[in-house]
């Protein structure tokens, strides 16, 4: 383990290999900024326009003021996880970042990072971006997790598991290098379902970047029917956590047997049971389905770290957006149940 990975600790998306993947995949330059005991990864360059890390696209969607389009991205440019590494004040770290003399934006920053940067003098209000879902793996693994659910949900899960088993599916865990070409068409099909256009060769190239940068840590749970893959879940194990990364299915061959939930959640709880895994990081999107299956949700923020942010004059607009986001969560009984700490969202 590198010195940087020791600093990264439990944060897989800050690990050196993941940062290398981000740089390779996006043609960006990865760097680190360190001040005393605290540090963050940063990226410059690369084509992030129109994607999840295009900060102006996110601000425009929320009718908020735009920032200069080019600058320093604080945190990785994939993974939806930015954390300040190391304990203590971040005054020196903020000064180091601002010394780069360019726009400096942290995206998908956790609440702890927001609080620390604000305490160090950042004036811009944080903009709420999304919910981050974490599923605890209790003692007893799958059965222990099942016991934490309501009686109604336990019955539903057992029904979904039985349907999956009766449909004849099998699940096998293999390194990504062994199946990248086979699962690329499944990835393309799922991307198309959600409005993203990709070619099979594009996804094969991305899978190869995963393998090149992360080796056999890039692992796939294959959903097999008659020996052929009809679904996959790419994941990583880092210390005590499974990080779910990518899923795809051939919908024309599925048997309406809750394939998604079985492959991404129920199978992962079984797999984790005997391996000392304590968390499954399920990330953003499909939040309600994750909370219904025991996930806790935390907020992820955009924070402009610049000394002269246009967002400083838009505090009310930012407050209104953040409040509306939280109110929508609280209005849904299932989502409200998943909020781990209400103060994080305020």
> Can you give the pLDDT at residue 23?
96
pTM of the model: 0.95
Q: Would you give the DSSP letter of residue 263? A: I
Q: At what angle do helices 16-26 and 200-214 cross, to 10 degrees?
A: 150
Residue 274 CB partners (closer than 8 Å, separation 6+)? 141
* Calculated CA dihedral for residues 243, 237, 22, 1, nearest 10 degrees: 140
Q: What are the residue ranges in the chain where pLDDT is below 50?
A: none
Rg, C-alpha atoms of the chain = 20
Sheet containing strand 219-225, strands side by side: 28-35, 38-45, 72-74, 104-109, 296-304, 127-136, 279-283, 241-249, 228-238, 219-225, 170-175
pLDDT on residue 139 = 87
Cα dihedral 266/271/277/282 (nearest 10): -40
Domain boundaries, the chain: 3-131+298-345, 138-277
Q: What are phi and psi of 303, to 5 degrees?
A: -135, 120
The pairing of beta strand 104-109 with beta strand 72-74: parallel
CA angle (210 as vertex; 186, 104 as ends), nearest 5: 110
Is residue 68 within a helix (H) or strand (E), and if so which, with residue range? none
Which pLDDT score is estimated for 1? 63
| Contact between residue 318 and residue 64 where contact means Cβ atoms under 8 Å apart | yes
pLDDT at 156 (0 to 100): 96
Q: Give 239-284 pLDDT, tens digit per residue.
A: 999 999 999 999 999 999 999 999 999 999 998 877 889 999 999 9
Return the CATH fold of 138-277: Aminopeptidase (3.40.630)
Helix segments in 27-136, DSSP class H: 55-61, 91-98, 111-119
Angle (nearest 5°) at CA 128 between 125 and 129: 135
pLDDT at 276: 85
């Amino acid at each position: 383990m590198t010195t940087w990975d020791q600093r990264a600790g439990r944060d897989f998306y800050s690990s050196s290999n993941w940062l290398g993947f981000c740089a390779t995949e996006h043609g960006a330059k990865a760097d680190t900024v360190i001040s005393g005991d605290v540090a963050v990864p940063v990226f410059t360059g690369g084509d992030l326009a129109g994607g999840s890390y295009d900060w102006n696209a996110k601000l425009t969607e929320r009718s908020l003021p735009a920032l200069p389009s080019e600058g320093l991205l604080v945190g990785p440019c994939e993974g939806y996880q930015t954390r300040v590494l190391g304990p203590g004040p971040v005054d020196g770290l903020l000064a180091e970042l601002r010394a780069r003399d360019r726009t400096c934006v942290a995206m998908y920053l956790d609440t702890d990072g927001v609080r620390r940067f604000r305490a160090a003098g950042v004036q811009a209000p944080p903009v709420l971006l999304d919910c981050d879902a974490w599923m605890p793996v209790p003692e007893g693994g799958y059965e222990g997790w099942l016991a934490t659910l309501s009686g109604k949900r336990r019955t539903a899960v057992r029904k979904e598991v039985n349907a999956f088993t009766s449909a004849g599916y099998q699940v096998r865990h293999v390194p990504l290098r062994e199946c990248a070409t086979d699962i690329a068409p499944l990835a393309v099909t799922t991307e198309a379902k959600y409005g993203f256009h990709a070619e099979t060769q594009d996804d094969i190239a991305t899978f190869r970047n995963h393998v090149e940068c992360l080796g056999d840590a890039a692992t796939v749970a294959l959903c097999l029917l008659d020996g052929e893959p009809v679904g996959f879940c790419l994941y990583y194990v880092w210390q005590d956590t499974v990080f779910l990364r990518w899923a795809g299915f051939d919908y024309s061959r599925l048997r309406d047997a809750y394939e998604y939930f079985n492959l991404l959640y129920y199978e992962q709880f079984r797999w984790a049971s005997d391996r000392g895994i304590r968390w499954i990081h399920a990330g953003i999107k499909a939040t309600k389905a994750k909370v219904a299956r025991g996930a806790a949700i935390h907020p992820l923020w955009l924070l402009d770290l610049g000394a002269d942010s246009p967002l400083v004059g838009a505090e009310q607009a930012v407050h209104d957006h953040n409040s509306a986001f939280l109110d929508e969560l609280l209005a849904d009984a299932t989502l409200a149940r998943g909020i781990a700490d209400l103060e994080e969202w305020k």
